[in-house]
Amino acid sequence: MLFDAIVIGSGSVGTPAAMYLAEAGLKVLVIDKEASCGQGQNKAAIGGVRATHSDPAKIGIGLKSIEIFKNWHEQYGDDLGFKQGGYSYVAYRDEEENLLKNLLEIQHRFGLNIKWLDRDDLKEVIPGINPNGLRGGTYSPEDGQVSPLKASSAFERRARELGVDFIFKEEVIQIISGDSKVKGIKTNKGEYSCPIIVNAAGANAGIIAKQIGIDLPIKPESHEAGISCPLKQWLLPLIVDLRPGPEGKTSNFYFGQNDEGAIIFCYTPEPPKDGFDRDSTSEFLPIIAKRMIDLIPRLAFMPIRRVWRGLYPMTPDGIPIIGKVEGLDGFYLLTGMCGQGFMLGPGMGYEIAGQITGGSRVLTDEIASSMSLKRSFQSASEALK
């Protein structure tokens, strides 16, 4: 079967990419080894969507993603569970206060609506926050939250309306190429021809790339998360605390209340837990509970519904790898989202479709080059991973 483009992966970035490629007029196939869309890391996401980053490319992509999420219901009729409550990064120490204030200049320069709030103003935005030692924090009101499950279903439906074909339960075992061009893929069940391949395989992107002799500097890390039973709406922004945990097992942690009232929460383990393990642990809930209650004491009696574990495909600098691969015409990367694939996915899909088809894009070539595989991964780093 012949297609204009094949997207490997039907997750947070692959499905939007396929949708926008089809919108540009291409005949697109999506291949995934899972049983349906969003069954990899998409369903493990906590749903935060932000443009609050330190990297200009990620700010631009984040702004585009928020625009897409925000306007989706009006354009297509699907309820994505969109809640535009913002993000707030809180500061209790010099380290966090200085970092957050120093980032404001570049964030403002690239179009992010964000401001520093002093202690009393932040207490108004985050009711019940522990005031002891609180210095203030940043607040970006246009960030928010979206349901990963609702979004995955909506993007797939729109993609199918545009003529995208989806094949599930097939694993890519070979990238077919010749004369420095891609020519198709071979799966465990068949072969499909095309001149364009987009590697959007998430945590498995490195495995796919190795089939064509490309080493991606990506390693999966496992992160745990959880969700409460629904509560009365009281918390507007999703909150991020960048301080390391006193127990020595976490760096930052973050949580927010979704549009259904549930509190969704996660932390970054320290040291990182590399690998593909997705089994929940007994240590997660006691650690995250203590940190959340220390920050907002009223959470002490919050009933927990469940916990789970997902994978973050990490790059050395915390910045994704996207764009064409030099020396292999037609092979594109949409990888290394560092656990932010859901929030960046729609903007990433829009951008890669523009790069491939010559259509409208989010980024200039200069800014997009910061996400190239050819970049120096030591020259810069995302401060708000």
pLDDT tops 90 at residue 380? no
For strands 181-187 and 172-178, give the pairing: antiparallel
Q: What's the CA gap between 267 and 290, in Å, rounded?
A: 12
With respect to residue 377, please indicate whether it lies within any of the assigned structural domains.
no
- Residue 303: give the domain boundaries: 84-142+219-314
Q: What's the CA gap between 21 and 42, in Å, rounded?
A: 20
363 and 336 assigned to the same domain: yes
The residue-averaged pLDDT of 210-218 equals 95
Q: What's the CA gap between 385 and 367, in Å, rounded?
A: 18
pLDDT at 168: 98
The residue-averaged pLDDT of 60-71 equals 98
58 and 122 assigned to the same domain: no
10 and 112 assigned to the same domain: no
3-state secondary structure of 30: strand
Q: What's the CA gap between 230 and 336, in Å, rounded?
A: 33
pLDDT tops 80 at residue 14? yes
pLDDT tops 90 at residue 1? no
pLDDT at 206: 96
With respect to residue 323, please indicate whether it lies within any of the assigned structural domains.
yes
What beta strand segments (E) does 55-94 contain? 87-91
pLDDT tops 90 at residue 246? no
55 and 93 assigned to the same domain: no
**Percentage helix, strand, coil for the chain under 3-state DSSP, each rounded to 5:** 30, 25, 40
Angle (CA) 165-166-169 rounded to 5° is 150
Query: Chain-wide mean pLDDT for the chain?
Result: 96
Closest CA to 142 of 343, 364, 356: 343
120 and 213 assigned to the same domain: no
Q: Write the pLDDT tens digit of every residue in 110-120.
A: 999 999 999 99
152 and 113 assigned to the same domain: no
Q: Are 352 and 341 in contact (CB under 8 A)?
A: no
- Which phi and psi angles does 210 have, rounded to 5°? -65, -25
106 and 52 assigned to the same domain: no
One-letter-per-residue 3-state SS of 149-163: HHHHHHHHHHHHHCC
pLDDT at 281: 93
The residue-averaged pLDDT of 72-81 equals 97
pLDDT at 379: 74
Q: What's the CA gap between 106 and 112, in Å, rounded?
A: 9
For the domain that residue 178 is a member of, what is the CATH number?
3.50.50.60
Q: Which of 286, 314, 342 is the last residue of a domain?
A: 314
291 and 167 assigned to the same domain: no
With respect to residue 174, please indicate whether it lies within any of the assigned structural domains.
yes
231 and 272 assigned to the same domain: yes
152 and 37 assigned to the same domain: yes
Look-up: residue for tokens 């609180």? 134
Q: Which of 270, 297, 314 is the last residue of a domain?
A: 314
Q: Say which residues have a Cβ less than 8 Å from residue 282's Cβ, sequence separation at least 6.
A: none
Closest CA to 225 of 181, 189, 269: 269
Q: Which of 298, 314, 330 is the last residue of a domain?
A: 314
Burial class (CB in 10 A: 0-12, 13-18, 19+), 328: middle
Residue 220 pLDDT class (50, 70, 90 cuts): very high
With respect to residue 376, please indicate whether it lies within any of the assigned structural domains.
no
pLDDT at 378: 83
For the domain that residue 98 is a member of, what is the CATH number?
3.30.9.10
The residue-averaged pLDDT of 27-35 equals 97
Q: Are 226 and 304 in contact (CB under 8 A)?
A: yes
With respect to residue 285, please indicate whether it lies within any of the assigned structural domains.
yes
154 and 300 assigned to the same domain: no
With respect to residue 187, please indicate whether it lies within any of the assigned structural domains.
yes
What beta strand segments (E) does 26-125 contain? 28-32, 48-49, 87-91, 115-118
With respect to residue 380, please indicate whether it lies within any of the assigned structural domains.
no
Q: Write the pLDDT tens digit of every residue in 138-151.
A: 999 999 999 999 99
123 and 255 assigned to the same domain: yes
When divided into structural domains, the chain yields a total of: 2
Amino acid at 26: L
Q: What's the CA gap between 206 and 224, in Å, rounded?
A: 22
- Percent of the chain at pLDDT > 90 equals 96
pTM over 0.85: yes
With respect to residue 173, please indicate whether it lies within any of the assigned structural domains.
yes
